[in-house]
């Protein structure tokens, strides 16, 4: 899964697609160029985000988020690209699915009943992610008694909720939410024990790309975490991830090709 943030303020790629001053919105032609590069490099799906969830990010209205993501989703669908929408808002998810999004990636883990209703009324996939607290304050001293057990329990509870609302298991993807209300020690515990987070055999998504934990380990700034991120993606796959959400698709694809070759498997 390639990350395509059309935000002014995402932690590592914000402002990348800003249109010329005065025209407002995002530069679609530039988004398409990057999208096609990611697909050519091996991404199967692109995750379009219109709101940054980095700690302390400014909240965005549903109207503004739609203004950012809907034209991008429509354009990617014209190009026959599989699209995910990274949103916590039911209204944005509803419009994104209507525009052709295949998957809703909700970093708040479907806590909102409105989001559940939107998903129940369509047949898009759903990624349920764990986050402790809210983006603004989630990194203020996050605490767990047993991070792996607590993350798994939350995901299991949300799977039951989604299934009860009529969302089939074949539409679900689960994510422990690296960096979302977690210290470095919590993130490492989750990565080490990723398989233990799995619920009902459902596929797992891992998003470690360029995150603060990689900076903490390597001492490198966000723009210089390509190697750390590719290795993290590889480790996540080795520990059970079925999908990795990444900014640097070529480096990640190379890492996964090396592993596949060693295992005698076809290249991913
Ligand atoms: N991480 C980010 C955003 N969305 N979705 C899932 N399922 N898993 C993740 O780990 C995840 C996610 C944060 O990264 P990014 O999109 O690069 O930054 P920002 O939130 O600042 O836009």
pTM for this prediction: 0.96
The percentage of the chain sitting over the pLDDT mark of 70, rounded to a whole number, equals: 98
Query: Residues 61-85: pLDDT tens digits?
Result: 999 999 999 999 999 999 999 999 9
The mean pLDDT of 39-52, rounded to a whole number, is: 97
Q: Is 105 in the pocket of ligand 1 (CB under 6 A)?
A: yes
Q: Is 107 in the pocket of ligand 1 (CB under 6 A)?
A: yes
Q: What confidence score (pLDDT) does residue 20 get?
A: 60
The mean pLDDT of 135-157, rounded to a whole number, is: 93
The three-state DSSP-derived secondary structure of the chain is CEEEECCCCCCCCCCCCECCCCCCCECHHHHHHHHHHHHHHCCCCEEEECCCCCCCCCCCCHHHHHHHHHHHHHHHHHCCCCEEEECCCHHHHHHHHHCCCCEEEECCCCCCHHHHHHHHCCCCEEEEECCCCCCCCCCCCCCCCCHHHHHHHHHHHHHHHHHHCCCCHHHEEEECCCCCCCCHHHHHHHHHCHHHHCCCCCCEEECCCCCHHHHHHHCCCHHHCHHHHHHHHHHHHHCCCCEECECCHHHHHHHHHHHHHHCCCCCC
The mean pLDDT of 14-35, rounded to a whole number, is: 79
* Confidence check: pLDDT of 22 > 80: no
- Assign 23 a pLDDT band (cuts: 50, 70, 90): very low
Query: Residues 82-117: pLDDT tens digits?
Result: 999 999 999 999 999 999 999 999 999 999 999 999
Atom of ligand 1 nearest to the CA of 51: 22
Q: What confidence score (pLDDT) does residue 11 get?
A: 79
Q: What confidence score (pLDDT) does residue 133 get?
A: 87
Q: Is 17 in the pocket of ligand 1 (CB under 6 A)?
A: no
């Amino acid at each position: 899964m390639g990350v395509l943030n059309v935000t002014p303020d995402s932690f590592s790629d914000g402002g990348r697609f800003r249109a010329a001053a005065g025209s407002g919105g995002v530069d679609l032609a530039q988004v398409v160029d990057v999208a096609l590069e990611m697909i050519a490099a091996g991404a199967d799906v692109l995750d379009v985000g219109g709101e940054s969830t980095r700690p302390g990010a400014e909240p965005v209205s549903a109207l503004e988020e739609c203004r950012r993501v809907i034209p991008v989703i429509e354009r990617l669908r014209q190009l026959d690209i599989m699209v995910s929408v990274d949103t916590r808002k039911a209204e944005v998810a509803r419009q994104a699915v209507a525009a052709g999004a295949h998957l809703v990636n909700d970093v708040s883990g479907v806590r909102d009943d409105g989001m559940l209703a939107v998903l129940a009324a369509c047949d898009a996939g759903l990624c349920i992610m764990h986050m402790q607290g809210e983006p603004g304050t989630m990194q203020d001293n996050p605490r767990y008694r047993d991070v792996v057990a607590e993350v798994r329990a939350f995901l299991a509870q949300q799977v039951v909720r989604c299934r009860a609302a009529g969302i089939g298991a074949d539409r679900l993807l689960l994510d422990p939410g690296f960096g979302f209300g977690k210290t470095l020690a919590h993130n490492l515990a989750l990565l080490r024990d990723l398989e233990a987070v799995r619920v009902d055999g459902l596929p797992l998504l891992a998003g470690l790309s360029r995150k603060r934990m990689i900076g903490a380990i390597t001492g490198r700034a966000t723009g210089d975490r390509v190697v750390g991120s590719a290795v993290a993606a590889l480790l996540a796959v080795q520990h059970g991830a079925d999908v990795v959400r990444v900014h640097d698709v070529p480096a990640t694809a190379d890492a996964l090709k090396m592993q596949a070759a060693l295992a005698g498997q076809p290249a991913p």
